[in-house]
Each structure stands twice: as C-alpha cells, then as structure tokens.
Amino acid sequence: MRQLAAEGRQITAGQLGQIAPYLRARISRFGAYATDELRHRPDPFDPPLKEVDFTDVELAA
C-alpha cells in the first residue's frame, strides 16, 4: 500500500477493507518459514498507514 501511495495512487479505507490479509484456500495460514534463514532479521513492523484517511471508518467495538 505504501508503494502504491508513493506512486501517486489514491487508496481509500473502503478499498483496504475489501482485501483479505491472507489467502483462504490451500495455504499455511502463518506462512512458510525456512529454517536456514533464522539468522536474517525481518524488516521492522510498521502497521500505521498514514497515507490512508480512516476518519470515515467505523471501528469495530
């Protein structure tokens, strides 16, 4: 999403609400992890999408 926003694409909260965070068919829900890569550090977790305006979205209770 950040890359698309950086390319000038308009991303709305409604569009984000319609995409799934993970595939639903024939998947390993938590991903596939290779044990030979244990020494590699993952990229920092950065959840906020400051590029998208969420002011019109009703948050679940």
In order along its 61 residues, the chain shows pLDDT tens digits of 888 889 999 988 888 877 766 656 666 666 666 666 667 777 777 778 888 888 877 776 5
Note down the domain range covering 8. Answer: 2-37
Say which amino acid occupies 48.
Answer: P
Residue 46 domain flag? no
Residue 53 domain flag? no
Residue 54 domain flag? no
Residue 29 domain flag? yes
Reduced 3-state DSSP string for the chain: CHHHHHCCCCCCHHHHHCCCCCCCCCCCCCCCCCHHHCCCCCCCCCCCCCCCCCCCCCCCC
Total domains, the chain: 1
The CA-to-CA distance between both ends of the chain, in Å, stands at: 25
Cβ atoms of 61 and 28 within 8 Å: the answer is: no
